[in-house]
Amino acid sequence: MIEACDVAVIGLGPAGSSAALAAAKGGARVIGLDRKKKAGVPVQCAEFVPMMLGVDSGPVDSAFVQTIMAMESFIDNRHDRHNDDFRGRMIDRAAFDRELAARATASGADLRFGVQVEEIAADGTIRLNDGTQIKAKVIVGADGPRSRVGAAVGQGNSAIVETRQASVPLLRPSESTDIYLSASIAGGYAWVFPKGDVANVGLGVDRRWKNRLKPELESLLDWLAEQGQVGREVFRYTGGAIPVGGPVKSTAALGEVLVLLAGDAAGLTNPVTGAGIPAACHSGRMAGEAAAAHVAGDGDAAEDYAEELDELFGASLARAVMRRRQLVDLYRADGPNDDNLRQGWIAYPAYWARENSDDGERRDELLEA
């Protein structure tokens, strides 16, 4: 069976549901596909949303758990810096994703969960595991860091951080995100994010050092338990991949089918912090609007989408790519010292220091590397 639609959205996390919602509101016939059986389940996220989300706050409000007022930074378990200007909210990520999906459905998008995409052909035809084929005028790839849509157009994420996280009892109430930097956490950092009476404790490392994930997390959990900060019971473990190489080309074509990438699939996650929800929501909405505009006959919609993404995310992602590469180079050598770690984390002035080269040229150089 072949089904025709205007816009096919592959992946229904924050980017995909935002794209489906925007495209449906723009008058397009939308089919959304996700291999997960339920929106947002299983959760593979630390569940922190910065205050500068900058999009409709309804889904955040519906999933709200607690307020975050500050950030504390540690180097090798020693407190090193307090920042009271990193505010945000902890959310129930599954509830957040459900709300976004419900809004997309209410706007007319046909969202289908528990569906596996088997193939994306060279002409843009999408083949599902039940034999169904979908032919769309636009495909929005919002299917994460290892995007099949991105791979189909030769735009896969090249650099990946692997994460592991445990949810444990939080014994001391907190309104801060605690960040742990160390030369032993190669190419990443560890975190403690309070979520009511639970803490999300996790870390990410460059995939070349993936074997360090489990022992480093268990060591951190033991230390936190000894300090009386968390309990030793683990409610659940989770983990996942984070793209850290910066943006990939966000527009392409498969035959006559326009392809737009959004969220993690477009490499829009911050390579230093791993924050991806705001970028996913923004880029998903923009991709959905561009898809609907293209279907309506706007020949510049794809180019406009790419330009808007660069204006919104280009400079900040270029800086993050640079800082992360500087640290990774040190891990390959003798390892970073404390000053190197400070320069590689957003809470410190050294992270934001200007480089000697021209900002614009440096940005283009980093994003093309």
Percent of all residues in the chain with a pLDDT value above 90, rounded to a whole number? 86
Query: CA distances (Å), 205 to each of 164, 184, 202, 239, 282, in order?
Result: 9, 9, 10, 11, 26
Same domain, 271 and 133: yes
- The enclosing H or E element of 241 equals strand 236-243
Q: For residue 275, give the CATH number of its domain.
A: 3.50.50.60
State the average pLDDT for the chain: 93
Please check whether residue 358 lies inside any domain of the structure.
no
User: What is the mean predicted confidence (pLDDT) over 304-308?
Assistant: 98
pLDDT for residue 58? 63
| Number of domains into which the chain is organized | 2
Same domain, 58 and 138: yes
Please check whether residue 344 lies inside any domain of the structure.
no
Are 99 and 62 in contact by the 8 Å Cβ rule? The answer is yes
* Local confidence band at 59 (pLDDT 50, 70, 90 cut-offs): confident
Angle at 73 between CA 71 and CA 75, to 5 degrees: 170
Same domain, 199 and 283: no
User: What is the mean predicted confidence (pLDDT) over 168-186?
Assistant: 96
Q: Does residue 4 register a pLDDT over 80?
A: yes
pLDDT for residue 334? 82
* Local confidence band at 162 (pLDDT 50, 70, 90 cut-offs): very high
Q: What is the pLDDT of residues 69-125, one digit of tens each?
A: 999 999 999 999 999 988 899 999 999 999 999 999 999 999 999 999 999 999 999
Q: For residue 217, give the CATH number of its domain.
A: 3.30.9.10
What is the residue range of 185's domain? 160-243
Same domain, 107 and 215: no
Whole-structure pTM over 0.85, yes or no? yes
Same domain, 204 and 188: yes
For residue 6, give every residue at least 6 positions away whose Cβ sits within 8 Å of its Cβ, in sequence order, or none.
23, 28, 29, 30, 136, 137, 138, 291, 292, 295
Same domain, 215 and 98: no
Same domain, 134 and 152: yes
Same domain, 129 and 220: no
pLDDT for residue 137? 98
Same domain, 277 and 253: yes
Same domain, 297 and 271: yes
Pairwise CA distance, residues 143 & 70, whole Å: 32
Q: What is the pLDDT of residues 309-327, one digit of tens each?
A: 999 999 999 999 999 999 9
pLDDT for residue 194? 98
> Would strands 78-83 and 117-120 be described as parallel, antiparallel, or unpaired?
unpaired
pLDDT for residue 361? 42
pLDDT for residue 128? 97
